[in-house]
């Protein structure tokens, strides 16, 4: 059992929601809060951010944080690899049900999709390429189960507990 204190918690996917506490679902919200909090402090620091989940949602939040110069974040993933839905659903015929050009990340476009509705493995490979190119593996704690999330109102900070000592 290991605990870490955080300024912000970002959920990569709404299904990972934790009740009764403020959390971020997008980097623009985090940036507004980060800017406000910096101006409130005599010694501003970059907030520590936990991103729960290494699927598309968590990856995009991490990329947006990088774009805005935030470097103090960690992605926590319970599985041993990235990908979320595109890692877990490998059944025959698994594919995207919307056109591939709409499924690409706007600032990480993929122009060479093999078909209009790309198969699962091609989408997973696209995510893996981005993850590698942007250095997100070193910011991700794979095989890390979150056992507890608690918001400390007095300190305005999250406490995150895991089953590993890797943090």
Question: How do residues 95-117 score in pLDDT, each as one tens digit?
Answer: 999 998 888 899 999 999 999 99
**Would you say 46 and 6 are in contact if contact means Cβ atoms under 8 Å apart?**
no
Confidence of residue 167 (pLDDT cuts 50, 70, 90): very low
Least Cα distance to 57 among 32, 33, 26, 78 occurs for 26
**Would you say 150 and 4 are in contact if contact means Cβ atoms under 8 Å apart?**
no
* Rounded mean pLDDT, 127-144: 95
**Would you say 86 and 125 are in contact if contact means Cβ atoms under 8 Å apart?**
no
**Would you say 75 and 160 are in contact if contact means Cβ atoms under 8 Å apart?**
no
* Burial (CB count <10 Å: 0-12, 13-18, 19+), residue 135: exposed
Question: What is the per-residue pLDDT for 163?
Answer: 79
As a whole-number percent, the residues of the chain with pLDDT over 90 amount to 51
Torsion 157-71-85-83 (CA) sign:
negative
pLDDT in tens, 140-154: 999 998 888 888 888
- Maximal C-alpha separation, the chain: 57
Question: What is the per-residue pLDDT for 29?
Answer: 41
């Amino acid at each position: 059992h290991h605990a870490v204190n955080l300024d912000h918690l970002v959920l990569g996917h709404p299904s990972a929601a934790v009740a009764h506490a403020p959390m971020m679902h997008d980097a623009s919200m985090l940036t507004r809060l980060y800017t406000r909090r910096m101006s409130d402090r005599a010694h501003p620091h970059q907030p520590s951010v936990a991103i729960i989940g290494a699927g598309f949602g968590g990856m995009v939040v991490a990329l947006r944080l990088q774009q805005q110069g935030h470097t103090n974040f960690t992605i926590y993933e319970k599985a041993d690899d990235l990908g979320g839905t595109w890692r877990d659903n490998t059944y025959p015929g698994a594919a995207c049900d919307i056109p591939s050009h709409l499924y690409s990340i706007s600032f990480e476009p993929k122009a060479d999709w093999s078909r209009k509705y790309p198969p699962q493995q091609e989408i997973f490979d696209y995510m893996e390429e981005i993850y590698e190119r942007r250095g997100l593996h070193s910011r991700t704690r794979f095989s890390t189960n979150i056992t507890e999330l608690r918001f400390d109102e007095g300190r305005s900070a999250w406490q995150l507990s895991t089953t590993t000592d890797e943090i």
